[in-house]
Structure 1
């Protein structure tokens, strides 16, 4: 698991701050993964071989009592942002969607924040979701230019690991 996390460019200290090692069983076989708890008590689970979740599936929320909200699509996008923009993550509330389908569950939260920074994937689904949110909320900004030329934050981080 440690090698997998590091292969994704994430220092163990960052992963350990936000995630847990989760052991689970499927068909009487035990597995383990890096896990991020969601706001309903389920887990998003990732390891080298498997991308899964436990019920109930939902978005994950990291609260820092901020008036700024950061929104990423997945665990490794969030962890990558925590590596590349440590201060902004530590001083913002954060939501990891765990699926773009959960945007409908969080957009009512946008009114609570003075600014909402989107870090969605540079693919058609992420771009469409970003465009829709920009049309509906004055406090939302697209921050995908930070990782322009990459599909997502983790791809940018991996491409720069060892080059700093």
Structure 2
């Protein structure tokens, strides 16, 4: 089993675990040290605040106004995607860092938000970027990892692939 992990992309799951732990740690820090809501935001830069808000939906509070079924729906999607990416990582060699890093970032972020959904019933968001009066929807480290990983996956489609000799 250890050879399987050392030789395949599963070796990169340490990065998913790191993203997960950092995300949960920051969210717990925010929940335990900040007041809830926009009125309690901490102004860091003229374009960035720290704040503590709950998101009952997904990206951009999608489906947050529903009666609670979305919690289980998004949890199921996150688990399914994470399993699928781990299967793909198992098929990749460990030295294929680009895709393995991308997959690990998505897995770590997805599981970080799943943890919130299962434990709290919502996802904790704390990053608020804005320009003038326009605020980007608040987000967190898990969301950032998912987005970076997803962009890497898309960019991989544009990378030139070396032709592999037929077996």
- Name the TM tier (shorter chain): under 0.3
Structure (1 or 2) with the larger CA radius of gyration: 2
Higher relative contact order (CA closer than 8 Å, sequence separation 6+): 2
TM-score of the superposed pair, with normalisation by structure 2: 0.25
TM-score of the superposed pair, with normalisation by structure 1: 0.25
In proportion to residue count, which structure has more helix?
Answer: 2
